[in-house]
Chains A and B, each alone.
Chain A
Amino acid sequence: MTDGPAAPRLRSLAESDLDEVLQLNQRWVPHVGSLRFDSLAELVDLAELAVGAFADGELAGFVVVLGPGAGYASPNYRYFSARHRLFTYVDRIAIAPRAQGTGLGRVLYEGVVDHARGVGSPVVCAEVNLDPPNPGSQAFHERLGFVEVGRQWTYDDTVQVQMLELVL
């Protein structure tokens, strides 16, 4: 027995979660793209999977995943759309500071991989920032088995991202 915090409970995001999700998202800009409430609501509506991890009733992390043909304007999503007919795209994943280092990121990604396999997707796609750098996220994705398939500049050439894929 340990006295550590209870494992977070995972569930699909509901509209009532979106304020908290937005707050956590904005906490990590520019490592994740900035959103407004309406653009977040639209994104969750487009998502194939939008899951939050809740510990003691508070949001500890979330992940938003899109499938092919989602009509999403993000240049990174379009990059993977041009490469694959069938794919699973991790649009964003964010972990609350108090849940960092607890393995929650890996748990959320395991859910993404399960989902991808469940819908018949052959590949999971994501990007991480190279400039401004995000070495923690780069190392995390590398440990999960993601490999670089390209790089691109986005947000009016202010952010350079590394395009990553995990073949299932």
Chain B
Amino acid sequence: MSPDAGQEPRPTAPRLTAAALDEDVARSDPHPTYARLRDEAPVVWHEDPGIWLVSRYDDVLAVNRDTRRFSSTGGVIPIEIGIDYPSPPTMMHTDPPEHTRLRRAVARGFRPSRIASLEQRIRGHVDSLVGAIAPGEPFDALEAVAAPLPITVICELLDLPSADWESMRRASDAVIPGAGDFDEDERAGLNAQLEELLRAHARDGGGLAADLREAGMDAEETYILVNQVLVAGNETTRNLLAGGLSAFAGAPDQWRRVVEDPGLVPGAVEEMLRFTTPVVSFMRTTTTDVDLAGVALRRGDPVLMLWASANRDPGEFGDDADTFVVDRHPNHHLAFGFGAHFCVGAALARLEAGLVLEAMTSRFGGLEEAGPPRRSPSTVIAGYEHVPLVAH
């Protein structure tokens, strides 16, 4: 007797779901595939690795906000399916109430007074990076701003000595599989160096680590949380900046609107978030049988929330959902997720992006592509390898 006997067959659309999880499609343009998923198969099963793909805004939100029926303990990205962790490797792998305990501790490190206290220093870093961009000369937005700024800000947040910043920068690049030009030995060496540095910082460092220890986290928990903040805060903001500037280069009229009216910056940052959606998708695992949009999900099924698709859903954002519009209203995007796992560093990411946009639009009346942008082949992170631009 088949294990599926007596159960409703799962709807499938093999070619479409394979495309949605294909790294080459992710590298070129996944949005036409997402549009077809939303229209033809909004909640659909993909056989290998055995996961539901959820693509419409309403359904993604329903999964995202329901931590009881959609658990994070089974992992947050598809390669984790089947892994049985002895203890959660990150805060993202926990559900309330354990998640609430960790989250409260980390949130102290991102409290508004802490973020506000960083603003002047971040502005200084932004001014120096943007000041180095020469008008009329092609530059890579990734190298010029998007890569160096977030890691510098994280080092400030962690209160790491500036002597350690360069090694942090190299080591944090090496953490992302496939990113950077490292051979495997070099990558392993840098990973070990990063772990050593962060473990020492977790034991007796200041900034966020001190906040975490004060909040009662032990050395291992402090290390895990600091490490997560580093990786999550670095890679995502980098891609927000790179993708956001790339989006502006493709919409010169929108750049001019912000140049003419700096009051549009906060809304423009939200549109950068929606349009780029730096974290493409995260996974949950059902804790019970669930009906989602009329489709029967079984207990233990992995479910992939396609945030990047939800953020282009015309059902929520209208017929111009694929257009970059700096004063879009309302703009209830899910780029930071929603609910218990809403990005704890959202305010910091918004601040960094706002300061970059403010600095660049005050110096440059125009921004254009100097060549095609090159995206990373990832279905999890909307990454960029090169974003050639010219500002004038």
Contact = CB atoms under 8 A, between A and B. Distances in A.
Contacts of B107: 118
B332 A67 contact: no
B50 interface: no
A36 B66 CA distance: 26
A120 B344 CA distance: 9
B21 interface: no
A122 B57 CA distance: 17
Contact of B342 (A68, A69, A84, A118): A118
B316 A68 contact: no
A85 B332 contact: yes
Given A119-B338, A119-B339, A120-B337, A84 B332 contact: yes
Contacts of A41: none
B61 interface: yes
29 contacts: A48-B339, A67-B65, A67-B339, A68-B65, A69-B61, A69-B62, A69-B65, A69-B66, A84-B330, A84-B332, A85-B57, A85-B316, A85-B330, A85-B332, A86-B61, A86-B332, A86-B338, A118-B103, A118-B107, A119-B339, A119-B340, A119-B342, A120-B336, A120-B337, A120-B339, A120-B342, A120-B346, A121-B338, A122-B332
Which 3 A-B pairs have CB atoms at the shortest separation, nearest pair first? A120-B342, A86-B332, A85-B332
Majority SS at the chain A contact face = loop
B239 to A, nearest CB: 19
Given A68-B65, A85-B57, A120-B336, 17 more contacts: A48-B65, A69-B61, A69-B66, A84-B330, A84-B332, A85-B332, A86-B61, A86-B338, A118-B107, A119-B338, A119-B339, A119-B340, A120-B337, A120-B338, A120-B342, A120-B343, A122-B332
Interface residues of B, number: 18
Majority SS at the chain B contact face = loop
B18 to A, nearest CB: 30
A68 to B, nearest CB: 7
Interface in A109-152: 118-122
B61 A68 contact: yes
Contacts of A84: 330, 332
Contacts of A85: 57, 61, 316, 330, 332
B346 to A, nearest CB: 7
Nearest to B342: A120
A69 B316 CA distance: 15
Interface in A52-106: 67-69, 84-86
Contacts of B332: 84-86, 122
Contacts of B66: 69
A158 B103 CA distance: 43
Interface in B311-342: 316, 330, 332, 336-340, 342
Contacts of A48: 65, 339
